[in-house]
Structure 1
Amino acid sequence: MSEIEPPRKRTCERCGRQEVWDGDRDVWRALETDGDRRLGQAHCLHEWDINGTYSPIAEG
């Protein structure tokens, strides 16, 4: 049986913003590295690195 496995981390290819999935809140949140949040550009139209090469199907 196959399961759908959504992405857990994403990075904007334009500004470098990095986000991780917060399953407790069901939202994406900015990744923190050494106490510094990876926010990127405030007005960027984010282009996430999740594209046609990502496969959400995990063989179970």
Structure 2
Amino acid sequence: MSVQMQKPTTRVCERCGRTERWDNSQSAWQHASDSDRGHPHCIHEWDINGSFTPYE
């Protein structure tokens, strides 16, 4: 039985609401939508925390 590691595919800033998605082709986080870019000077606090379970 093999353990599979899960990676987050989306993230949301808990301060300004900026939403990003993981783009495998660029190996980087990208804006999920052009209309919701959040605050430009926000020090983002992403919603990926201790409640995310990386292993199945």
| Structure with greater strand share of residues | 1
Are the counterparts in 2 of residues 13 and 47 from structure 1 also a CA contact under 8 Å?
yes
TM-score by length of 2: 0.91
Moved over 4 A (4+): none
Matched length: 55
Tell me, yes or no, if structure 1 residue 16 matches structure 2 residue 17. yes
TM-score by length of 1: 0.85
Unaligned runs of 5+ in 1: none
Q: Distance in 1 between matches of 2:36 and 2:10?
A: 12
Q: Distance in 1 between matches of 2:35 and 2:54?
A: 27
Percent of counterpart pairs with the same letter? Answer: 44
What is the alpha-carbon root mean square deviation over aligned residues?
Answer: 0.9
Unaligned runs of 5+ in 2: none
